[in-house]
Copies of this chain bind each other. A is one copy, B any other.
Amino acid sequence: MIMENKNYHIYPPSGSLDLLSKVESDLLTKSADGELYQLFRNCLLAVLNTGSQTDDASILFQKYQDFEAKISRTERGIKLELMNPPQSVFVDGELTRLIRTNLFSVLRDILYMREIVSSYDKKRLVKYGSQKIATDIVFMTLRNAKALKAAYDYNVVVCWGGHSINEIEYKYAREVGHELGLRRFDICTGCGPGAMEAPMRGAAVGHTQQGHEANRYIGITEPSIIAAEPPNPLVNELIIMPDIEKRIEAFIRLGHGLIVFPGGVGTAEEFLYVLSILMMEENKDQILPIVLTGPKESESYFKTLDHFIEKSLGKEAQRFYEIIIDNPSLVAQRMKQAMPLVKERRKQSEDAYCFNWSLTISEDLQKPFIPTHENMSGLNLHKNQPKEKLAAALRQAFSGIVAGNIKESGIKAIKEHGPFVLHGDPELMELVDQLLNDFVSQGRMKLPGSTYQPCYRVEK
């Protein structure tokens, strides 16, 4: 069979960025000047892989080497030309509206990332400090993406969980989404498959039952992971944050509630991130309902995680979340009950309902962690430090393992230098090792069918 490849001309759906300045379109052109072209092209390719079940970006890039993209201008604005795109995403030769929307969201975020970052010159960095600026970038990126609504009458539930969950877990997460949708919650996830997709799919039916139209299925990702975890087909607001730290900060400041489904080490990273924040004295008045939930069959997963938290961070960390097994409507009710308290809190602190400015995030969470072998083995994984510090260090460790598993740079580093080595308290190291082994044995590190090769070694 001869694969016939065609060029496709895609016009921006209404609401998308549909006009570019000459400077902007130069930046995106495949040429010497087009400094953003490669990034742009790769993120588009990820979006055009929507719905595919993979977690290895290199396969994608390998397969579509001859894919190219070109922005051109017409009397009605711009159009995007795709050359040799993947075929499976097309429905009768056309892209769904959401795919088209997301292609132009890539355009928007790639351009804005450069604009906003470049506008913080050295003078401003000194004046405001890097933490204030990191949060400012998160805010400005979300505002530019129209993801922040000053209006009051919506609530975003952030759902975390693995991209590789089994069918029972998928159905369960879909049912939780359905119950959330019936209660008009918008859904925000990491934008990929598995537990990032299931609640959106359920919510779409629940929202339809409510006759609610402006429903939001927000997927927040980052350039280094989008190709490994392409958006799922329901995402209607795709947002690309500059790095994983800003991505998680966006989740936390944007969301009004948090649900954790079964997941792997990435989910654990996110969970430790938020626990580290909530354990800070500065955040003691914050209200952020967190529910860990799954079907009966996944109960052991939560027991393992809960046990790890208790033993590593102590009982005081456990009061920040509730575990609900096999009860989708109860999960949704918990979220609903908490919303008036969240609102009240924002009001009292004169904080925006759509962006939680008042939350303090420590520098070690906010500063991009580069998972080199040196940084990984230098992590302070000892118990003789404040619990929130330990939580932050653990999240860095897990962040490194995610990179070693699925991010391009991480995979390359492991190939060259062997597994990361983690040091720390033997007792703590034992806990970490056990948790990770449990993830491996539950098949949460990789997609089904592949065998997991650990990218780390715990030095006890």
A209 touches which one: B76, B136, B207, B234 (CB < 8 A)? B234
Known: A22-B132, A119-B118, A182-B96. A211 touches B73 (CB 8 A): no
Contact bitstring A37-76, B, C-beta under 8 A = 1, else 0: 0000000000000000000000000000000000011111
Known: A205-B234, A210-B96, A211-B97. A354 touches B115 (CB 8 A): no
Interface status of A213 (Cβ within 8 A of chain B): yes
Pairwise interchain contact B92-A183, C-beta atoms closer than 8 A:
yes
Report chain B residues within 8 Å CB of A396. none
A182 touches which one: B72, B76, B91 (CB < 8 A)? B91
Contact bitstring A106-135, B, C-beta under 8 A = 1, else 0: 000000000100110100100010001101
Known: A96-B210, A97-B211, A211-B98. A75 touches B204 (CB 8 A): no
Q: Which residue of B lies closest to A77 (CB)?
A: B150
A119 touches which one: B12, B91, B119, B350 (CB < 8 A)? B119
Report chain B residues within 8 Å CB of A98. 208-211
Interface status of A201 (Cβ within 8 A of chain B): yes
A115 touches which one: B96, B119, B128 (CB < 8 A)? B119
Chain A positions 189-203 with a Cβ under 8 Å from a chain B Cβ? 201
Minimal beta-carbon separation of A425 from chain B (angstroms)? 38
Interface status of A352 (Cβ within 8 A of chain B): yes
A19 touches which one: B133, B234, B354 (CB < 8 A)? B354
Chain A interface residue number, banded: 35 or more
A343 touches which one: B75, B128, B150, B343 (CB < 8 A)? B75
Minimal beta-carbon separation of A143 from chain B (angstroms)? 6
Distance A101 CA – B210 CA, assembled complex (angstroms):
10
Minimal beta-carbon separation of A6 from chain B (angstroms)? 18
Pairwise interchain contact B182-A209, C-beta atoms closer than 8 A:
no
Report chain B residues within 8 Å CB of A76. 150-152, 352-353
Minimal beta-carbon separation of A18 from chain B (angstroms)? 4
Known: A21-B140, A208-B208, A208-B215. 20 other contacts (CB 8 A): A12-B150, A19-B148, A21-B143, A22-B135, A23-B132, A23-B136, A74-B347, A75-B346, A77-B150, A77-B354, A92-B183, A92-B333, A96-B210, A98-B210, A101-B211, A118-B119, A118-B121, A201-B205, A205-B234, A208-B236
Interface residues of A (CB under 8 A from B): 12-13, 18-19, 21-23, 72-78, 91-92, 96-98, 101, 115, 118-119, 121, 124, 128, 132-133, 135-136, 139-140, 143, 148, 150-152, 182-183, 201, 204-205, 207-213, 215, 217, 233-234, 236, 333, 336, 343, 346-347, 350-355, 357
